[in-house]
Structure formats: structure tokens, C-alpha cells
Structure 1
């Protein structure tokens, strides 16, 4: 199967999952895996692969911008509203982590792969996101499930918003 066909199949599977009513946590977790995979691909690229690095960095930044937006606009307010155990503190910390990531994303969007510190900034962004993902998946998501949030409705709303964002980024 060609890379183009594989990507199309993956995109089709994701769209079908969204249409079938993927819950919010499943959607966010799938995003986490997708971004982690892109960071791994970036790390495998050699110093001379500047075009590939630039394209992959753009995909990573776009995915992270869409992801942080749907979390901040939809998921985190729902966590706050549901009085999830320690939800206020977890959401506050997540928003601060998002701000740090957004700062690095902005810097990277203004850089070229052969600039000083380019690879280092991608690596630090990767590490920050990895930390953020662990906290969400081990702490916030289980507590959100226990709180009785309508994760299916949230997932549908988030999937629609994500599609909208991805088409404009």
C-alpha cells in the first residue's frame, strides 16, 4: 500500500470513528498517539533532511494547535463544570502547560530546520507534550470518566471542531 493510500486509509478510519461517535477521551488519546508518532518520525530524520523536517514540524504544530484548542474550548470547561475531583487544579495546570507549548510552537513556526536550536526546540516540545499527556491520561481522564461526563456528546462536538480547525490551519 502506498504512503498516500495508507494516509488516506488512516484518515478515513479516523473520520469513520468520529462519525460513529468516538468519545472525547478516545479522541484525545488518539491525538496523543498520533503526535507522539510524528515526534518519533522527526527524531529519526538526519540533519540533512531539512525539507522532511519542515513538513513534519508543520504537521506537528497544526495537530497540537487543533488539539489544544478543542481541549481548551470544549473538554476543560466540561471538566470544570462537572466538578471533577481536583478538576480545577488539573485544568489550570494543563492550561499553563499548553501556554508553554504554544510559545515553543510559535518559535518553531518562525524558524527553519537549519537554524540554531531548531532540533532542540522540537525535542523540548516533544518532552513537554509527553509529560502533559501522561498527566492527562493517568489523572484527568480517569477522573473525568468517574464524574459521569457525557463523553460521547463531548467527543462529537470536539470532532466537529477539530475538523473545522484542521481545514483552516
Structure 2
């Protein structure tokens, strides 16, 4: 008997971002073990890519997903915590982007950013997405399209910058 899967929704899109960035953090960790002369530049490039992905992801959540969820659910404490986590991640992202050298402190900042993101992802997957999908007032499939369009717009802006 075939099973029908729910259509991809906003949570599916956001979780795809989570998986992509998790893989990038794993790649970064592998680079920290490399002694190759090119490793520092590769780490810088990958860290910049991670920062861009996370910046765009946080922005689409803050502009579209979280406000819609605030309107649809009663318990918004999780959303408050998520926004505080975003602020902490943004601070680390700024430190990583401003770093003059790719040294042990740079590696530590990228590692801690990855740990922040792991924690944030667990809360989104296990609590926020569950509440979003249970909220009858939310059109998560329609929201996915809004998130995708905004994400593409932001990626275009960052590519030009």
C-alpha cells in the first residue's frame, strides 16, 4: 500500500537548510585536521559560505516564518528563545567575518557557531516545527513559496555585494 507524503512545506524547506549547513560544518571540521598549506584559505572560504547561508536562513525565519507562527500559536516562548539564539549566532558570524587570521580562535568560533546551530535545529525540529504543523491557521505550503522567493532574492543581493 503506497504511503502519501505530505507536500513539502515551510518546515521542510528550513530543515533542508539545516542539513546543508550541518554538512558544511562537518567539512570545516575535516579541514581543521588538514596540514595542507591551502587549508587556511579553504577554511576561510567555507566559513564565509556557512555565514552567508546562516544569515539568509535567519533572515527569512525572522521576516516570514516567526511572525506568522507568532500569530498562529499561543506559546511564543520558544520563538523568543529562537530569536535570542539567532542574535548569538549573528554575533559569532560577525566575529568570524571580521577575523583577520584563520587561526585557532577562528576555528573555535566556527566550532561554537556549529554547536549553537545544532542546539537551535533540535529545538526547531522537535518543538517549533511540530507546533507550526499543528497550527490550523498556517498555510505552510504557501509559506514555503514565500520563503523560497525571499531566499533567492537575498542570495542574489549577497552575490552582488
Q: Give TM class, smaller chain.
A: 0.7 to 0.9
| Aligned ranges 1:113-124 → 2 under 5 Å | 113-124=101-112
Q: Contact 2:9–2:144 (CA<8 Å) still a contact in 1?
A: yes
Q: CA deviation at 1:114?
A: 2.7
Q: Does 1:68 align with 2:54?
A: no
Q: Does 1:54 align with 2:40?
A: no
> Could you tell me how far apart the structure 2 residues matched to 1:91 and 1:80 are?
8
Secondary structure in 2 matching 1:117: helix
Provide the residue aligned with 1:164 in structure 2: 153
Q: Contact 2:11–2:129 (CA<8 Å) still a contact in 1?
A: yes
Provide the residue aligned with 2:23 in structure 1: 37
Secondary structure in 2 matching 1:73: helix
Provide the residue aligned with 2:144 in structure 1: 155
Q: After TM superposition, where is structure 1 displaced by more than 6 Å over at least 4 residues in a row?
A: none
Structure 2 portions without partners, runs of 5+: 1-6
Q: Does 1:125 align with 2:113?
A: yes
Provide the residue aligned with 1:91 in structure 2: 79
Q: CA deviation at 1:112?
A: 4.1
Q: Contact 1:23–1:155 (CA<8 Å) still a contact in 2?
A: yes
Provide the residue aligned with 1:77 in structure 2: 67
Question: Per-residue displacement from partner, 1:14-58 (whole Å, max 9, x unpaired)?
Answer: xxxxxxx84101100000000000000000002540111011011
- TM-score for both structures, normalised by structure 2: 0.87
